[in-house]
């Protein structure tokens, strides 16, 4: 069995002491930031990236991935116990999870979340292992035109799934692409948009943009509505679910895993869409639909499985195509480039230990998470009590030192401040920063593929629709944009994002 050989190779890579340690640190930190409201995975990963540059690439990526899916776990804990979703993807869990906690069934809800997440994480890990290689093999046939169209599709998907006005989201993407072009042009060496500033010659660092827009921007936003966070802690009782609970959570977990896995692959969505869709579907098909919103265990099991499955499968486009599907994986693309790994379909064949090591580490990480979250629940609960005003100066310190350490330049510290202002202003105008960060990282790649495609086609712009795969990808992009314009869907989109906090 080839798959088993691969997984064995992955196990050998992931199970070294230092990789296990960093995987543990990753999921531990991830859980912590998932629990702490007001600190998201994007800002955290941006903050920790400079630290990971001293690690070997596999170890660094294992840790970064751990932070991401760990944060999905932690976010659920706070949703259930105190009605505060730590992450956008766990907003939906508050509906039934908190109700269960109020009825004294917090233990059962946490168990449903942990079991569902672990099962979903396991399935998703195998999905990546099974579908990754053939997908990458198919992508190896891609020429520059296909890659260009693929990136268009990725950016369109991020636009469709962004909050707020569609037009503004497209604008953010174009602006992100433009900002990505700042610096020396690869072909001619021309300095573009640098205004003679020497520090801009290599372009703007993506960590600087991410820390500014997500880190600083978030802090400024949070300070604005620094409302009293009165945490009414319910007592955790009945840590073990009843047999009836178990019976009721099986089908929702299976359905949630399936929905989350499929939607997670879509670029731009990650885990958020999956959890909303899984809840909506469960509410339609469940026998106990009358209980939804009043503490139905299905309403916890389904979205929790879906968000964890989605968090994992969102690594499929990243690892096989080199296309990031959300801000977190965009940062990981950046991290790979820093480590000298060109993200794309060749990663599997050229760096098999990295690819399979990461996959196996995800499964190990999920195991860690069950251990971390379930017995240690009391510790995380205490973490929720840390007031924000004691937290954010520390975040700022890590951002400032982290961004300085990238190139040992104070210029980047000022640049981060500028992007903090930019991020805050755009959030006031209702423009989400996520599509812009994605575009920022893809900008130089897109230009390169566009150039090569045009060179190969002798300047014929129709090449993108004449090649079948490229045409299909572009058609999907048009279709995705079209669906937003259909009133029924755009209404669900609005509803889905209304309660979301980003």
Partner 1 sequence: MTRNPKDFWTGLIYIFFGASAIILARNYNMGTALRMGPAYFPTILGAVLAVIGAISVIRSFITPGMPIGAFGFSGLALVIFSVVVFGFLVRAAGLVVALPLLVIISAYASARFRWRTTLIMAVGLTIFCGLVFVKGLGIPLPIIGPWLGG
Sign of the dihedral through C-alpha 492, 495, 499, 501: positive
Number of residues this chain uses to bind partner 1 (CB under 8 A)? 61
Cα 43 vs. chain centroid, distance in angstroms? Answer: 11
The Cα–Cα gap between 423 and 426 comes to 5
Enter the tokens of residue 473: 């990808």
* Residue 501 lies near partner 1 (rule: CB under 8 A): no
Q: Which of 202, 224, 350, 494 touches partner 1 by CB under 8 A?
A: 224
What CA–CA distance (Å, rounded) separates 292 from 283? Answer: 7
Residues 147-176 that bind partner 1 (CB under 8 A): 165, 167-168, 170-171, 174-175
> Of 184 and 251, which CB lies nearer to partner 1 in the complex structure?
184
Site for partner 1 in 3-22 (CB under 8 A): none
In terms of residues, how long is the chain? 502
Site membership for partner 1, residue 229 (CB under 8 A): no
Query: Is the Cβ of residue 28 or residue 246 nearer to partner 1 in the bound state?
Result: 28
459 binds partner 1 (CB under 8 A): yes
Tokens 């907003």 sit on residue: 91
Of 431 and 496, CB closest to partner 1: 431
Q: Which of 247, 382, 428, 491 binds partner 1 (CB under 8 A)?
A: 428
In the region spanning residues 429 to 458, those forming contacts with partner 1, defined by CB under 8 A, are 429-431, 446-447, 450-451, 454-455, 458
Quickly list DSSP for 432-477.
-SHHHHHHHHHHHHHHHHHHHHHHHTTT-TTHHHHSHHHHHHHHHH
Residues 6+ apart with CB under 8 A from 130: 3
Q: Which is nearer to partner 1, 69 or 424 (CB)?
A: 424
DSSP-assigned states of every residue in 374-392? TTTHHHHHHHHTS-GGGTH
Contact 14, 361 (CB under 8 A): yes
416 sits near partner 1 (criterion: CB under 8 A): yes
Q: Which of 2, 378, 408, 486 binds partner 1 (CB under 8 A)?
A: 408
Q: What is the DSSP letter of 241?
A: P
Based on the shown chain and the rule CB under 8 A, indicate whether residue 219 belongs to the binding site for partner 1: yes
Three-state DSSP at 191 gives: strand
Q: Compare residues 54 and 485 and give the one whose CB is closer to partner 1.
A: 54
Contact assessment for residue 26 and residue 62, using Cβ atoms and an 8 Å cutoff? yes
Could you tell me which residues come within 8 angstroms of residue 131 by beta carbon, excluding any fewer than 6 positions away?
316, 320
Supply the minimum distance, in Å, between the C-beta of residue 347 and partner 1. Answer: 26
The DSSP line for 27-62 is HHHHHHHHHSTT--HHHHHHHHHHHHTTS-HHHHHH
Tokens of 318: 């990243």
25 lies in the binding site for partner 1 (CB under 8 A): no
Among 126, 404, 407, 490, binds partner 1 (CB under 8 A): 404
User: Toward partner 1, which CB reaches closer, 450 or 471?
Assistant: 450
Judged by CB under 8 A, the chain residues 357 through 396 that form the site for partner 1 are 387-390, 392-394, 396
CB of 70 to partner 1, least distance (A): 21
Binding site for partner 1 (CB under 8 A): 51, 54, 165, 167-168, 170-171, 174-175, 177-178, 181, 185, 187-188, 190, 192-193, 216, 219-220, 223-224, 226, 387-390, 392-394, 396-397, 399-401, 404-405, 408, 410, 413-414, 416-417, 420-421, 424, 426, 428-431, 446-447, 450-451, 454-455, 458-459, 461
């Amino acid at each position: 069995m080839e798959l088993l050989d691969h997984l064995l190779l992955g196990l050998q890579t992931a199970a070294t002491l230092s990789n296990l340690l960093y995987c543990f640190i990753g999921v531990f930190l991830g859980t912590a930031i998932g629990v702490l409201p007001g600190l998201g995975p994007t800002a955290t990963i941006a903050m920790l990236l400079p630290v990971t540059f001293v690690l070997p690439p596999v170890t660094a990526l294992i840790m970064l991935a751990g932070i991401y899916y760990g944060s999905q776990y932690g976010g659920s804990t706070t949703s259930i116990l105190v009605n505060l979703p730590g992450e956008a993807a766990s907003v939906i869990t508050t509906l039934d999870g908190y109700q269960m906690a109020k009825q004294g069934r917090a233990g059962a809800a946490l168990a449903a979340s942990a079991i569902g997440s672990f099962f979903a994480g396991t399935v998703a890990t195998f999905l990546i292992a099974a579908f990754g290689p053939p997908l990458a093999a198919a992508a190896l046939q891609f020429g520059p035109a296909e890659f260009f169209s693929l990136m268009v599709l990725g950016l369109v998907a991020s636009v469709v799934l962004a909050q707020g006005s569609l037009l503004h989201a497209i604008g953010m993407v174009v602006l992100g692409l433009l900002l990505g072009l700042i610096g020396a042009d690869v072909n001619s060496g021309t300095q573009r948009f640098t205004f003679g500033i020497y520090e801009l010659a290599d372009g703007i660092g993506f960590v600087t943009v991410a820390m500014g827009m997500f880190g600083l921007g978030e802090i400024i936003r949070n300070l604005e509505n620094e409302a009293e966070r009165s945490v009414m802690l319910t007592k955790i009782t009945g840590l073990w679910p009843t047999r009836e609970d178990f019976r009721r959570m099986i089908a929702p977990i299976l359905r949630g895993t399936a929905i989350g896995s499929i939607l997670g692959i879509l670029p731009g969505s990650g885990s958020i869409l999956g959890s909303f869709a899984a809840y909506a579907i469960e509410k339609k098909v469940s026998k106990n639909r009358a209980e939804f919103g009043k503490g139905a265990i299905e309403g916890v099991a389904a979205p929790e499985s879906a968000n964890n499955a989605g968090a994992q499968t969102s690594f499929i486009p990243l690892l096989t195509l080199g296309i990031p599907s959300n801000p977190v994986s965009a940062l990981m693309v950046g991290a790979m480039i820093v480590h000298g790994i060109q993200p794309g379909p060749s990663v599997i064949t050229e760096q098999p230990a990295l690819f399979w090591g990461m996959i196996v580490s995800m499964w190990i990480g999920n195991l860690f998470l069950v251990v971390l979250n379930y017995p240690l629940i009391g510790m995380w609960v205490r973490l929720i009590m840390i007031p924000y005003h004691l937290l954010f100066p520390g975040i700022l310190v890590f951002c400032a030192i982290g961004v300085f350490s990238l190139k040992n330049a104070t210029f980047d510290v000022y640049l981060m401040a500028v992007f903090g202002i930019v991020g805050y202003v755009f959030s006031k105008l209702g423009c989400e920063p996520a599509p812009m960060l994605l575009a920022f990282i893809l900008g130089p790649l897109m230009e390169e593929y566009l150039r090569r495609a045009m060179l190969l086609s002798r300047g014929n712009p129709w090449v993108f629709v004449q090649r079948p795969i490229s045409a299909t990808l572009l058609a999907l992009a048009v279709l995705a944009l079209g669906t937003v314009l259909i009133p029924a869907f755009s209404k669900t989109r609005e509803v889905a994002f209304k309660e979301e906090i980003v």
